[in-house]
Amino acid sequence: MAEDNNSNVLAWFITGLGIGAGIGAALGILYAPKAGRETREDIAKGAREGTEYIRVKSRQAAESVGDLVDKGKEQVSVLVGKSKEQVGEYVDRGREVVDRGRAQWEEFVERGKNLVAEQTVRVGAAVDAGRQAYRTTVSTPEEEAHES
């Protein structure tokens, strides 16, 4: 609702401005102290100067926009470069953590293997000692007769 009202006011303002400019130009021509030919030449000269002014300002605006676009591209390029560097750093850190974890697991596996090997030797020795003790305590009757 407010937008319609604002655009309506703006349209009336622009219309009034155009009508005022037209009336002012007509009155200026009618009451000008110069002859018609001089007045037309002045109008043509003013139109050429206005056209050249607009052409120059358009070029300047285009150059300014081009400069802003170039600066924007440079800034985006810098940000992309920084982002790539940060991602690279994160990837490197991740690799380091994975490598450390892998090394720790390899160490734990090796320790486990050694522990199992040591326990196997101990259990084997215990089994051998048990067999020997059994043999010593349970002797055959023939062995007892020989010993006596």
Specify the pLDDT at position 53: 85
Q: Is 32 helix (H, G, I), strand (E, B) or coil?
A: coil
Specify the pLDDT at position 141: 56
pTM over 0.75: no
Specify the pLDDT at position 120: 92
Asked whether 29 and 39 are in contact (CB, 8 A), the reply is yes
Q: What does the DSSP 8-state code read for residue 33? A: S
Specify the pLDDT at position 95: 92
